[in-house]
Amino acid sequence: MNTYKIAVLAGDGIGPEVMEQALRVLDAVEKKHGFRTERTACFVGGAGIDNCGKALPAETLAACEAADAILFGSVGGPKWDTLPPDERPERGALLPLRKHFSLYANLRPGICLPELVHASPIKPSLIPGGFDILCVRELTGGMYFGEPKFYGERDGETIALDTLVYKKSEVERIARVAFEAARGRRRKLCSVDKANVLTSSVMWREVMNAMAPEYPDVELTHMYVDNAAMQLVRNPQQFDVIVTENTFGDILTDEMAIVCGSLGMLPSASLCQGSESFFGLYEPSGGSAPDIAGQGIANPIAQILSMGMLLRYTCKETAAADDVDRAVRNVIAAGYRTGDLATGAEGEIRVGTAGMGDAIIAAID
């Protein structure tokens, strides 16, 4: 029987409660599809700081190294907001994990299901039937990690400096992930850049164009990032796969998430291509939501779908991953709603975190 090692980093806020549901659903799919997982629970984020003195404790990193994949909850909260920026849960845990494991490909699906069109801030008449976008964000390059970084005095002035740098090879590897992803979907790839201003974007666009002939079945287009930000709220249905650099992707994916309706629905995968499959960190797109933590009302779907992405990209358990996605769609279609999704419409079944987990498990069996 295939066995996969998973490092489980539930983190802070709603992380532990939504993670509990994701692991219950994982139990159900394992039983049905005949594979096993070995799970190691570790501290991360604020829980890492409180228990081990660091957002990313050494023993957590070691457990991640020994694993095939990381299932991540969420980190951060008001308790740790007064720490210096580099030590805070978000930056102190996530950025080092991304860099350490070279998780250069960040896949963020933005799906607005037909039943949840009303939850989007976009007028329902503009998005009939919902939409389904995949944003492929480059995650280990650009301004986040570019050197030099500097904050200090120079020529009698205080200056602060970040560097936006990309190697051609870094753009090529993310381009390939995006073209392949488009091939598995509606075969449309929109590359987002700022080639009218930024030199790094000029190279980005050249690399995309140079790879296009290898994917004659994929239609490649280019869009400036300012226009893309506008088009996402004007007509998200025009997009299939979007590929973009790190900082643009950070901004656009928050925008994409909210136009989908609820952050509580959106998973993500941060991947590094191995020889046969991806090593990856899988996490909900939403944050730790400290305001509703511990009340049993958080939507666990983003965490459950993140676990599904882990089965798809790391374990290659495609049937099981399809099953998770299908079960989620079915419970939404059947009317199950956590608070973030509810409108009070007739036929809605209001559930909490565990109730949503129960419904999804019932839909798996």
| Residue whose CB is less far from ligand IPM, 174 or 320 | 174
User: How would you label 33-61 residue by residue, b for 16+ Cβ within 10 Å and e otherwise?
Assistant: bebebeebebbbbbbbbeebebbbbeebb
3-state secondary structure of 168: helix
Q: Is 250 in the site for Mg ion (CB under 5 A)?
A: yes
255 part of the interface to Mg ion, by CB under 5 A:
no
Q: Which does 12 bind (CB under 5 to 8 A by kind): ligand IPM, Mg ion, none?
A: none
Give CA–CA dist 324/261, Å, rounded. Answer: 20
Return the structure tokens found at 352: 């909490």
Residue 15: how many CB atoms within 10 A of its CB? 29
Give the span between the Cα atoms of 349 and 105, in whole angstroms. 37
Binding flag, residue 132, Mg ion (CB under 5 A): no
348, interface contact from Mg ion, ligand IPM, none, CB < 5-8 Å by kind = none
Residues 81, 226, 291, 322: which is the catalytic one? 226
Query: Under 8 Å CB-to-CB from 16, ≥6 apart: which residues?
Result: 10, 73
Chain residues binding ligand IPM by CB under 6 A are 90-91, 94-95, 250
Q: Which amino acid, one-letter code, is at 268?
A: S
What is the separation of C-alpha 108 from the centre of its chain, rounded to a whole number of angstroms?
A: 4
Active site residue 149: no
Comparing CB distances to Mg ion, the nearer of 225 and 324 is: 225
Residues 6+ apart with CB under 8 A from 27: none
| Closest to ligand IPM by CB, 75 or 182 | 75
Q: Are 90 and 104 in contact (CB under 8 A)?
A: no
Q: With CB cut-offs between 5 and 8 Å by kind, which of ligand IPM, Mg ion, none does residue 283 bind?
A: none
Closest separation between CB of residue 99 and ligand IPM, Å? 12
Q: Among residues 245 and 340, whose Cβ is nearest to ligand IPM?
A: 245
Q: How far is the CB of 199 from ligand IPM (least distance, A)?
A: 23
* Shortest separation between residue 309's beta carbon and ligand IPM, angstroms: 15
Task: Output 20 or 250, the one with its CB closest to Mg ion.
Answer: 250
- Contacts for 272 with CB less than 8 Å, ≥ 6 apart: 101, 102, 103, 104, 105, 278, 279, 280
Contacting range for Mg ion; rule: CB under 5 A; set: 83-91, 101-109, 153-161, 249-257: 249-257
Q: How far is the CB of 76 from ligand IPM (least distance, A)?
A: 8
* Sequence letter at residue 238: Q
Q: Which of 194, 215, 323, 336 is catalytic?
A: 194
What are the tokens at 233? 């709220």
Task: Please choose which of ligand IPM, Mg ion, none residue 132 contacts, taking the beta carbon within 5 to 8 angstroms, the exact cut-off set by kind.
Answer: none
Closer by beta carbon to ligand IPM, 97 or else 211: 97
Catalytic residue among 132, 162, 250, 358: 250
Q: Which does 94 bind (CB under 5 to 8 A by kind): Mg ion, ligand IPM, none?
A: ligand IPM
Give yes or no: 226 in active site.
yes
Q: Smallest distance, Å, CB 213 to ligand IPM?
A: 32
Residue 2, CB-side half-sphere exposure with 13 Å CA sphere: 13
Cα 111 from chain centroid?
12
Q: Let me know if 194 is a catalytic residue.
A: yes
From the list 81, 254, 291, 322, the catalytic residue is 254
Name the one residue in this structure whose structure tokens are 């870094």.
170
Strand partners, 39: 6
CB of 285 to Mg ion, least distance (A): 8
Can you tell me whether residue 87 is helix, strand or coil? helix
By the criterion CB under 5 A, which residues form the site for Mg ion? Answer: 250
Active site residues: 144, 194, 226, 250, 254
